[in-house]
Amino acid sequence: MNKKTVYDIAVKGKRVLVRCDFNVPLDDQGHITDDLRIQAALPTVRYLLEQGAAVILCSHLGRPKGKPVESMRLNPIALRLSELLGLEVRKVDQVVGPVVEEAVAALRPGDVLLLENTRFEPGEESNDPELSRKLAALADVYVNDAFGAAHRAHASTAGVADYLPSAAGLLMGREIEVLGNALSAPQRPLVVILGGAKISDKIGVIENLLTIADRILIGGGMANTFFRAKGYEMGDSLVEDGSVETARDLMARAGDKLVLPVDAVVADAFSADAQSRVVNPDGVQPGWRILDIGPRTVALFSEAVAGAGTVIWNGPMGVFEMARFAQGTFAVAKALAESEAITIIGGGDSASAVEQSGVADAITHISTGGGASLEFLEGRELPGVAVLDDK
């Protein structure tokens, strides 16, 4: 990676603004239900504190659309950070302004301050230069550790770097290094597994990986559009009619490199207690829909994973939120865990599936950014990475 990280900058006695990704799920009472993203930010925060910096943290939470929303305040994050760091993390109720400036002026080395939800500011998502300047004025150095938001050109993820020396945090650095190596110098064979509902979300990924990967395995709802392109009847299965021609073109160019399921679990309703059975992909009857890959496909995909040098997985194999249609997804997770390959999970539902199946510890790298990892796999430049200082 040719970007500076926190290891490359002097921070002793300085105020460091760190953009984190604290966009964590909350229940109806405002309690955090999964603190994985908060845990992921700790190495960078602890390192900066050990080096004698005063740390100012900022993040978005949810989609408040440029105005304060009480249920999206970062108070629960401040409490959890205080518990995890073993010190008081003071929070202010604004992002910029006199109250924030006063709190920042009182900071001493070893202190941690958390700003309010950056998306409460109307200029955040439009990357307003004035907001960027105000954020930059709070600190001496900027660190971006929010890979999950690195594909957004917002004031706190990109604009602020125009006004301060900048570097990647440890999490951001790890993400760029692992994903970058997987694309530029993978241990081969490189096997990519793509799932999820829509082919349209991953056309760019497939286009880019056709020139890099050795095998691309397709599962989930997106496989249905490929089946329709082959002329199969799909019953009530999810199909993107507008992407059928694209799927046909991709298959023609990919040849044997692109692998579709050889059987599927179908159900007579989108329901956890629906009737289900295993059929060939061309055997979906009217009124039935594909909700998971079948056992022969599990064996086929598992064999490909077992022989791989590197595996990248993004997207579930079926409707894994329903236990009866989670078997394909969990079987793929198990295959990755048992593989000797470098295994990379591309965030989102795949990361959740790996956690639920209890094999997360056996995976080489679980990305914290679903959308960001997809854009990285497309070969697109991420704004939050591009703006950081080069080594």
- Structural tokens at position 351: 């990361």
In angstroms, rounded to a whole number, what is the distance separating the alpha carbons of residues 245 and 252?
Answer: 11
Annotated active-site residue 391? The verdict is no
Amino acid making up residue 256: D
Which residues sit opposite 276 in a β-bridge? 267
Sign, Cα dihedral of 198, 375, 47, 365? positive
Annotated active-site residue 220? The verdict is no
Range list of β-strands (E), the chain: 15-19, 54-58, 89-91, 112-114, 141-144, 166-168, 190-194, 215-218, 258-259, 264-267, 276-279, 289-293, 310-314, 342-345, 365-366
For residue 64, the Cα-to-chain-centroid distance in whole angstroms is 20
- Structural tokens at position 18: 């760190």
Catalytic hit among 169, 348, 369, 384: 348
Amino acid making up residue 45: V
Annotated active-site residue 371? The verdict is yes
Annotated active-site residue 37? The verdict is yes
Catalytic hit among 62, 180, 204, 371: 371
Which residues sit opposite 224 in a β-bridge? none
Place of tokens 């955090």: 32
Catalytic hit among 46, 90, 133, 198: 198
Catalytic hit among 4, 15, 37, 174: 37
Residues annotated as catalytic (active site), given as ranges: 37, 198, 348, 371
